[in-house]
């Protein structure tokens, strides 16, 4: 992918060798997507040269139809996406000594996300392109579509994040990217782009485990970071696990789901209830009008000595219930009762973990952390057990690139940069 280096930053203009390296990596991405819509669009633009960049300009209208959605916070000088950057604020004024300014890239699934984050905590820009419109008719993420959309959107998303933060590529101290786990086709696009940017601009490259990113999302745009060790409950679309976080770079899973992830159970149950994709937020919304005590769906009990969890049983119970109920029970009551069962299991496992060891805080993370009933119960548990309970701001619960920059900041502080040989790993271990 050909990344544009800003013309007004001539001091960091690409050397010939950097330009050749970027062109080589661009060619790799183009080859990967030769049959894709993005490639057709590039050819149809009838131009040559910086193909990916030109294609992004050609794709600007398509970007809007993809419900191009941006979140920004504390943007020093916001500008419209795509408008030229007048003058980048000097990097020195954006950070104090010792603080890092990182560009984050997240393409592990279907969101093409970029962000600029200062000191692993302050979000200067947070850009997320939403692909739901392309996947919803299939009822789930289609990997091939996701990777094609990443190719089509990533250059513009990088440009947009830098512009909204009012910085140039030369101002950042490193490039952070999700290396796994996730969809291989999607990960490859982000990793190749991050390598190209890091190489061309001479910046360190930080490979981040997507799940570590979720954990550090809880501290974004807040001044709260607990002491270690803390206990994280990570509940997302693909994972549900309890994590003991010993230090910013040392953590281990002490309990996890035996089958469906909590988010997956929400999505599947939402589908049974006829709710639109993605189901979790829709079910949460519907449940707000329901009574959680209407139905007693089963709560999984762990095997002795384990902190495992399971959510497929409750989902199946909802299915059998709906088949027999023939629409007599209010859907909101079914949703609220299902949600209560999931929340009870999650809170029970956190409680058991707190009984087993002393932690400095409990931290909620992952897409399901946005769930209103779970947030309430989690904070209530913190109050009951007299322990700090932290929940991410809503915009940092589901996938975003700010959390990737946040985790990378901790890696950078620990001196853990990555080599240009970095490869995406769809099964990256925790
Ligand atoms: N308010 C909510 N209530 C319940 N679930 C929610 C809510 N908001 C989002 N979710 C769920 O969160 C999940 C998406 O979270 P996330 O983006 O972290 O998952 P992912 O990146 O696909 O999975 P992973 O991080 O495990 O790779 C979806 O299953 C979605 O339904
Ligand atoms: Mg995720």
**pLDDT tens-digit readout, 251-265:** 999 999 999 999 999
CA triple 325-330-331, angle to 5 deg:
85
Q: Is 16 left (phi over 0), alpha (psi -120 to 50) or beta?
A: alpha
Share of the chain above pLDDT 90, in %: 72
392 CA distance to ligand 2 middle (Å): 13
Name which of 60-64, 90-94, 140-144, 425-429 the model is least confident about. 60-64
Closest residue CA from atom 4 of ligand 1: 280
Question: Nearest Cα to 255, choosing from 364, 365, 350?
Answer: 350
DSSP 3-state assignment of 52?
helix
Higher pLDDT, 2 or 291: 291
Q: What is the distance between the alpha carbons of residues 103 and 176, in angstroms, rounded to a whole number?
A: 6
| pLDDT over 70 at 312, yes or no | yes
Asked if the model's pLDDT at residue 59 lies above 50, the reply is: no
Q: Does residue 209 surpass a pLDDT of 70?
A: yes
Note the pLDDT of residue 98: 67
Give the mean pLDDT of 399-420.
96
pLDDT at position 423 is 97
Closest CA to 129 of 147, 153, 162: 153
- Average pLDDT over the chain reads 83
In this predicted model, what pLDDT tens digit does every residue of 344-381 receive, in sequence order? 999 999 999 999 999 999 999 999 999 999 999 999 99
Ligand 1 touching residue 392 (CB < 6 A): no
The rounded distance, in Å, linking the Cα atoms of 54 and 41 is: 10
Does the pLDDT at position 97 exceed 60? no
Residue 30 CA, ligand 1 centroid: distance in Å: 30
- Residue 181: asked if its preceding bond is cis (omega within 30°), the reply is yes
Question: Nearest bound ligand to CA 366?
Answer: 1
**327 against 75, higher pLDDT:** 327
Domain boundaries, the chain: 10-217+399-413, 224-392
Whether 10-217+399-413 and 224-392 share one fold: the answer is yes
In the Cβ-directed half-sphere of 50, how many Cα atoms lie within 13 Å? 12
Topology adopted by domain 224-392: Nucleotidyltransferase; domain 5 (3.30.420)
Could you tell me if 378 and 364 are in contact, meaning their C-beta atoms sit under 8 angstroms apart? Answer: yes
* pLDDT for position 89: 40
The sign of the torsion formed by the CA atoms of 36, 169, 8, 165 equals: positive
Instruction: Please state which of the ranges 3-17, 231-245, 286-300 shows the lowest mean pLDDT.
Output: 3-17
Q: Which tokens go with 54? A: 């030109």
Question: Ligand 1: which residue has its CA nearest to atom 18?
Answer: 367
d(CA 382, CA 390): 9
**CATH label, 10-217+399-413, candidates 3.30.420.40, 3.40.50.460, 3.30.390.30, 3.40.50.1220:** 3.30.420.40
pTM of the model as a whole: 0.81
Q: Exposed, middle or buried: residue 46 (CB in 10 Å: 0-12, 13-18, 19+)?
A: exposed
CA of 211 to the centre of ligand 2 (A): 7
Mean pLDDT of 80-98: 41
Question: Can you give the pLDDT at residue 29?
Answer: 47
Question: How far is CA 290 from each of CA 268, 319, 322, 370, 420, rounded to the nearest angstrom?
Answer: 19, 18, 16, 18, 52
Distance CA 6, CA 169 (A): 8
For the ranges 125-129, 132-136, 155-159, 298-302, which has the lowest average pLDDT?
132-136
User: What single-letter DSSP state applies at residue 237?
Assistant: S
Q: How confident is the model at residue 135 (pLDDT cuts 50, 70, 90)?
A: confident
**Per-residue confidence (pLDDT) for residue 430, from 0 to 100:** 94
Residue 64 has pLDDT above 70, yes or no: no
* Whether the predicted pLDDT of 281 surpasses 90: yes
The CA 263 to ligand 2 mean position distance, Å, reads: 10
Greatest Cα-to-Cα distance within the chain, rounded to the nearest angstrom:
70
- Mutate which of 281, 367, 369, 428 for ligand 1 pocket (most atoms within 8 A of beta carbon): 367
Pick from 224, 246, 220: which is nearest to 232 by CA?
246
The pLDDT value recorded for residue 231 is: 98
Find the DSSP H helices in 238-330: 262-272, 279-287, 312-325
From atom 30 of ligand 1, which residue's Cα is the shortest distance away?
A: 280
* pLDDT single digits (tens) 149-208: 999 999 999 999 999 999 999 999 999 999 999 999 999 999 999 999 999 999 999 999
Grouping H, G, I as helix, E, B as strand and the rest as coil, residue 389 is strand
Name the residue with the closest Cα to ligand 1, atom 16: 367
Mean pLDDT of 310-332: 96
- CB 81 less than 6 A from any atom of ligand 1: no
- Residue 15, class by beta-carbon neighbours within 10 Å (0-12 exposed, 13-18 middle, 19+ buried)? exposed
- Go through 271-286 and write b for each residue having 16 or more CB atoms within 10 A of its CB, e for each that does not: bbbebebbbbbbbbeb
């Amino acid at each position: 992918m050909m990344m544009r280096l800003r013309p007004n930053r001539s001091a960091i203009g690409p050397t010939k060798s950097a330009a050749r390296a970027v062109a080589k990596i661009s060619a790799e991405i183009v080859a990967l997507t030769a049959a894709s819509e993005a490639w057709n669009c590039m050819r149809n633009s009838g131009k040559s040269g910086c193909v990916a960049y030109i294609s992004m300009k050609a794709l600007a209208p398509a970007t809007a139809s993809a419900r191009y959605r941006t979140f920004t916070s504390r943007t020093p000088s916001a500008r419209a996406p795509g408008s030229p950057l007048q003058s980048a604020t000097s990097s020195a004024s954006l950070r104090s000594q010792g603080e890092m300014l990182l560009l984050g890239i997240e393409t592990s699934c279907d969101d093409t996300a970029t962000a600029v984050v200062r000191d692993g905590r302050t979000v200067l820009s947070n850009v997320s392109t939403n692909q739901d419109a392309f996947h919803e008719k299939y009822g789930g993420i289609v990997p091939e579509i996701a990777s094609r959309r990443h190719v089509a959107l990533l250059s513009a998303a990088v440009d947009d994040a830098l512009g909204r933060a009012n910085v140039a590529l030369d101002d950042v101290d490193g490039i952070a990217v999700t290396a796994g786990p996730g969809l291989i086709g999607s990960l490859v696009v982000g990793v190749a782009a991050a390598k190209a940017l890091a190489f061309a601009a001479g910046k360190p490259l930080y490979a981040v485990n997507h799940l570590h990113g979720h954990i550090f999302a809880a501290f974004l745009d807040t001044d709260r970071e607990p002491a270690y060790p803390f206990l994280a409950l990570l509940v997302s679309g693909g994972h549900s696990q309890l994590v003991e976080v010993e230090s910013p770079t040392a953590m281990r899973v002490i309990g996890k789901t035996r089958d469906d992830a909590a988010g997956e159970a929400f999505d599947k149950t939402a589908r049974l209830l006829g709710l639109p994709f993605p189901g979790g937020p829709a079910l949460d919304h519907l449940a707000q009008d329901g009574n959680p005590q209407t139905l007693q769906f089963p709560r999984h009990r762990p095997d002795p000595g384990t902190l495992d969890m399971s959510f497929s049983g409750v989902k199946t119970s909802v299915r059998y219930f709906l088949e027999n109920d023939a629409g007599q029970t209010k859907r909101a009551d079914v949703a609220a009762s299902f949600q209560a069962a999931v929340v009870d299991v999650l809170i029970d496992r956190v409680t058991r973990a707190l009984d087993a060891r002393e932690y400095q805080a409990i931290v909620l993370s992952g897409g399901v952390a946005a769930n209103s009933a779970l947030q309430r119960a989690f904070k209530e548990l913190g109050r009951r057990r007299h322990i700090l309970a932290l929940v991410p701001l809503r915009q940092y619960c589901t996938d975003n690139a700010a959390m990737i920059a946040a985790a990378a900041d901790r890696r950078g502080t620990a001196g853990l940069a990555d080599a240009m040989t970095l490869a995406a790993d769809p099964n990256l271990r925790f």
